[in-house]
Amino acid sequence: MADYKYKCLECFKTYIGPQLPAKMTCNCSPAKQIAGVKVVRPLSDALLRAITSGEAATLRAELCTRWQIENKSHVSHGANFSSNQKVVNLIMDIVGPVKGGLRNTVRQAAIADFGYDIDTGEMA
């Protein structure tokens, strides 16, 4: 779950955590209602690691087996995966065609394996 940040720039009362049911009441006099903003956590190093097309083919095969997804890449072409891509790009490429009940299973698996939510594109 994404965190939310609420901060008053005058009294500096700050809250970071799950989204509040209402705005934050700050310590100014009179108190103000501070709206929260969603905190986007940076992707992990594991997700941002650059991989070669050879590594990508290996990792794709591993993840497809592990997540029980049909591997649609053509090994002879080194997949349709260009250089300078990252693990997260490969994951999104693999899960792109996955729909229905399997999607939820794979989503949970990706959260367990990478801490990454494939539906929001953010850290889980």
Tokens at 49, concatenated: 């690691």
Tell me how far CA of residue 99 lies from CA of 24, 32, 39, 79, in angstroms: 38, 45, 28, 21
Q: Which of 82, 31, 121, 10 is nearest to 91 (CA)?
A: 121
* 79 is a site residue for Zn ion (CB under 5 A): no
Subset of 12-31 contacting Zn ion (CB under 5 A)? 26, 28
Residue 26 beta carbon to Zn ion: minimum distance, rounded to whole angstroms: 3
Residue 38 beta carbon to Zn ion: minimum distance, rounded to whole angstroms: 21
* 7 is a site residue for Zn ion (CB under 5 A): no
Q: Which residues bind Zn ion (CB under 5 A)?
A: 8, 10-11, 26, 28
